[in-house]
């Protein structure tokens, strides 16, 4: 049966969770994620999609998570990079996209809720060179004929969702597209491709699962959708765990759009398996999904929780 993989946004810790989920999915099903017919990636998921399309095994990505190379030493007296602590550099002053704010003011219903915040946030000062280096490490420059790959970013001035790799999309390498897809507004500088500014595709949708229905893509029989910024299960009680409850509420809001997209895909006759972090995953992740210091821990926990999830899927338990 033909397969589509939809890998959603999730920051550095969502990346770790997704790699672990793919690892245990491969072990449970005996399938190889690289053999998917369609790959749709957003933000952190875009790097994984590009890597799989370039022939990189999930096992290689997991190995680097669990045993990362040492960070380069910093000169004596130099300030510690905020990125190493999962914090952004101080952004510039003023809204990041006045043009997008104007578009939203004229037609607010055309845009997803996160678009307003993304436009209002100041332009990030985070250097995207590191993002590009990260993407280039795994991804080929050229788009493969098979599998079909779509990497989702947002045009920062029009608010349009742009699936790079699609017929008619702006020319870009897979690494350039993945860098744009990962450029979180307010954190990283927008990425320029063909004279346009692009930011994280997660502003439009955490997954863009509805792209599976795009006539520009081959029809698939089944799809695996991983949504690391959503949640499975209930969120904590606000009185006993206000931070966890707020995180759960936000994840529910983010996951709601993906759920509607998945419902459309199912209505079209495609069998969909979806998963998002459970309570144990979310507890170890915490509120800051950009903290690189916790990647190995998140992956180790997710190897256990996702293995249990696929076992329940196989046996029909819930």
Any idea of the CA torsion for 271, 235, 117, 205, to the nearest 10 degrees? Answer: -10
Whether 37 sits among the annotated catalytic residues: the reply is no
| 290: DSSP letter | T
216 a catalytic residue? no
The catalytic position among 37, 155, 200, 291 is: 200
Candidate list 37, 43, 205, 235, residue with the active-site label: 43
DSSP string, 86-134: T-PPPPPSSBS-HHHHHHHHH-GGGS-HHHHHHHHSBPP-B-THHHHHH
Sequence-distant contacts of 96-100: CB under 8 A, at least 24 apart: 96/120, 96/121, 96/122, 96/123, 96/124, 96/156, 96/185, 96/186, 96/190, 96/199, 97/156, 97/157, 97/197, 99/157, 99/158, 100/156, 100/157, 100/158, 100/159
Instruction: In whole angstroms, give the CA distance from residue 74 to residue 106.
Output: 48
DSSP bridge partners of 271: 222
Catalytic residues: 43, 200
């Amino acid at each position: 049966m033909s397969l589509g993989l939809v890998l959603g946004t999730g920051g550095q810790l969502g990346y770790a969770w997704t790699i672990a989920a793919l690892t245990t999915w491969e072990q449970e099903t005996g399938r190889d994620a690289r053999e998917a017919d369609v790959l749709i990636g957003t933000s952190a998921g875009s790097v994984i999609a590009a890597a799989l399309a370039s022939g990189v095994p999930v096992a290689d990505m997991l190995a680097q998570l669990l045993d990362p190379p040492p960070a380069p030493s910093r000169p004596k007296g130099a300030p510690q990079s905020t990125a190493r602590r999962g914090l952004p550099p101080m952004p510039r002053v003023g809204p990041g996209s006045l043009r997008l704010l104007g578009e939203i003011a004229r037609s607010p219903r055309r845009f997803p809720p996160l678009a307003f915040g993304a436009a209002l946030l100041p332009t990030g000062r985070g250097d995207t060179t590191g993002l590009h280096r990260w993407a280039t490490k795994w991804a080929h420059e050229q788009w493969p004929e098979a599998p079909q790959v779509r990497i989702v970013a947002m045009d920062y001035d029009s608010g349009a969702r742009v699936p790079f790799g699609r017929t008619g999309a702006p020319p870009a390498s897979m690494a350039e597209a993945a860098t744009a897809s990962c450029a979180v507004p307010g954190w990283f500088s927008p990425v320029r491709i063909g004279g346009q500014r692009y930011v994280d595709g997660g502003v439009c949708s955490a997954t863009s699962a509805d792209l599976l229905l795009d006539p520009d893509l081959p029809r698939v029989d089944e799809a695996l959708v991983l949504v690391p910024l959503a949640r499975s299960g209930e969120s904590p009680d606000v009185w006993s765990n206000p931070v966890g409850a707020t995180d759960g509420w936000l994840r529910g809001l983010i996951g709601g759009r993906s759920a509607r997209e998945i419902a459309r895909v199912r209505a079209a006759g495609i069998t969909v398996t979806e998963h998002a972090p459970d309570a144990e995953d979310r507890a170890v992740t915490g509120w800051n999904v950009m903290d690189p210091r916790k990647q190995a821990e998140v992956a180790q926990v997710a190897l256990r929780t996702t293995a249990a999830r696929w076992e329940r899927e196989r046996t029909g338990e819930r």
